[in-house]
Amino acid sequence: MASAVEPKKKNNVMYAFTCSILASMASIILGYDIGVMSGAALYIKKDLKITDVQLEILMGILNFYSLIGSFAAGRTSDWIGRRFTVVVAAAFFFSGALLMGLAGDYATLMLGRFVAGVGVGYGLMIAPVYTAEVSPASARGFLTSFSEVFINVGILLGYVSSYAFARLPLHLGWRVMLGIGAAPSVLLALMVFGMPESPRWLVMKGRLADARVVLERIAETPEEAAERLADIKAAAGIPEDADGDVVPVPKRRSGEEKQVWKELIVSPTPTVRRILLATLGLQFFQQASGVDSVVLYSPRVFQSAGITDDDQLLATTCAVGVTKTVIVLLAAILLDRVGRRPLMLASSGGMVVSLVGLGTGLTVVGRNPEARVIWAVGLCVASTLAFVSFFSIGLGPMTAVYTSEIFPLRVRALGYAVGVACNRVTSGTVSMTFLSLSSAITIGGSFFLYAGIVTLSWVFFFTCLPETRGKTLEEMAELFGAKTAAGADEVEDAARRETDSSSSRLLG
């Protein structure tokens, strides 16, 4: 019997691994857009003769556009399924890349950013949610982190593309950099046909036979598959004795969508309130750390550090991309071995030190404009590489992993969309204000400010984020104070009192 179980275990992880790879391809396209814009911006500004304010808007507005996609993706994925929502994301990415590549003026370029932004919202939401729902608990952190891994691969490809096409004529180079991003979208749409549908979505639609097939492929044993199916049925409100191939599910009432909003936002239970607070805090602090300022404006940062040659700027930026990609791969391996909390706390602590070093180096260089202070230039480069390393080992991949696994099934898609919305608003605000902030308090002062924000994030992570390693998606509510026995009113009351007390301490 033991020899029969072992091959099953290998096959189930490989099957979930393949599904995760396919879904996370959407993240490569998102990462490419982020990476390529950091280099293309140098040439867009020269060619279209736009101001710093216009450049800030161009760089950051995509994050606000993505709000449309992130909220639409929650509804779309519940309607047509997680799998075909990936196709919708690919279609937006394809159209946006073409528009940007063919843009003849600033207005058309902004239109392309809008279309691509909607695709970003779809991709950010659907890839981690789908991966979390097809992953076994023992490997969920590793597999869900693929979305962040592929974002970093895409960023690196964007950096390399900027470097490779920088020698083309000015009017052509940046258009090729942006337009070539349409090619992976076609591949992504075709790859969807090799993906199974999420078993949790199938159960929500009453398709138990189809869900059972997928669960038997991703579970380690038939017994585990049956147990997971029973848990998902209970979460979806399907009676335990309902056991046909297709069974009726509780009908969606006309106001059910409003009810889901009510359960999540208006009058959440103490458990959901704690989950929502953890999600919004995690998503906010990931972007408020200033990572987009480093990724999008790394050439500008290195210019301020004293590196002025275009080739050197782009080459140093490529080094940032390589570092991020290598470290996030390491994080994917460690997530299910070390746990979420240790990596998160180590990540934010290291980021504080790195940001202080970067702020110090930039301040020294800024105060000595006539002299090349070699040690300060070296400190800037080393601190930047250390910052992206610490970000990529914890806070980078952890945000998608943690957010995708803690929400109850009924509000998971909408909850993740709300988290992504917070993430994108924060990201857009940071990226659209960096140049202006640097002018107001110096570029070194900007990174000292980010260091203070990351210090606050460490406190938040320590106090508000429980460890989720090894837990099934259906067990997550217990970590946030949900009662475990029906009729135990005193447990619910205690959870409510505890949550209200925790919220008061946090707000106070």
Q: What pLDDT is stored for residue 400 in this prediction?
A: 79
Average pLDDT of the chain to the nearest whole number: 81
| pLDDT class of 25 with cuts at 50, 70, 90 | confident
pLDDT for the residue numbered 229: 87
Which tokens hold the place of 430?
A: 């940071």
pLDDT at 354: 95
Residue 486: is its pLDDT beyond 70?
A: no
Q: Is the pLDDT reported for residue 451 higher than 90? A: yes
Query: Is residue 326's pLDDT more than 70?
Result: yes
Quick check: 365 pLDDT over 70? yes
Q: What is the reported pLDDT for 460?
A: 95
Does the structure show a pLDDT above 70 at 504?
no
Closest CA to 219 of 336, 317, 153, 140: 140
Does 197 or 471 have the greater pLDDT score? 197
* Averaged pLDDT for residues 389-406: 87
26, 86 contact by CB (below 8 A): yes
Given a cut of 90, whether residue 355 has pLDDT beyond it is yes
pLDDT of 75 > 50? The answer is yes
Q: Which of the four pLDDT bands, split at 50, 70 and 90, describes residue 11? A: low
Please determine, for residue 448, whether its predicted confidence score (pLDDT) is greater than 90.
yes
SS3 339: coil
Q: Is the pLDDT of residue 497 over 50?
A: no
Element (H, E) at 194: none
The pLDDT of residue 234: 81
**Where is pLDDT greater, at 71 or 291?**
291
pLDDT of residue 499: 36
333 and 416 Cβ atoms separated by less than 8 Å: no
The dihedral built from the CA positions of residue 384, 386, 391 and 397, taken in this order, carries a sign that is positive
pLDDT for residue 502: 35
The pLDDT, as a whole number, for residue 163 is 82
Average pLDDT over residues 219-232: 83
- One DSSP character per residue, 348-390 reads HHHHHHHHHHHHHHHHHHHH-TTS--HHHHHHHHHHHHHHHHH
Helices and strands of the chain, counted as H and E runs: 23, 0
How many angstroms separate the Cα of 407 from the Cα of each of 54, 185, 230? Answer: 38, 29, 18
Report the alpha-carbon distance of residue 173 to residue 158 in Å, rounded.
13
**C-alpha span between 357 and 158 (Å, rounded):** 27
Q: What is the pLDDT of residues 99-110, one digit of tens each?
A: 999 998 999 999
Q: What is the mean pLDDT of residues 274-293?
A: 92
Report the distance separating Cα 330 and Cα 333, nearest Å: 5
Mean pLDDT value across residues 320-328: 83
If you average pLDDT over residues 170-182, what whole number do you get? 89
Residue that is written with structure tokens 């946090």 in the block? 506
Q: Which residue has the tokens 């805090």?
A: 281
pLDDT band at 282 (very low <50, low <70, confident <90, very high): very high
- Given a cut of 60, whether residue 250 has pLDDT beyond it is yes
The model's pLDDT over 133-161, given as tens digits with 9 standing for 90+, comes to 887 777 777 777 777 788 888 888 888 88
DSSP line for 5-25: HHHHHHHHHHHHHHHHHHHHH
Least confident piece of the model among 20-34, 69-83, 245-259, 355-369:
245-259
User: Residue 18 above 50 pLDDT?
Assistant: yes
What is the pLDDT, as a whole number, of residue 503?
37
Helix axes 443-464, 489-507, angle to 10 degrees: 160
In angstroms, the CA 140 to CA 133 distance is 9
Structure tokens at 299: 């050439």
Rounded CA-CA distance 392/397 in Å is 6
How far apart CA 451 and CA 357 sit, in angstroms, is: 10
Q: How confident is the model at residue 255 (pLDDT cuts 50, 70, 90)?
A: low
pLDDT band at 246 (very low <50, low <70, confident <90, very high): confident
CB atoms within 10 A of CB 505: 9
Closest CA to 120 of 94, 99, 145: 94
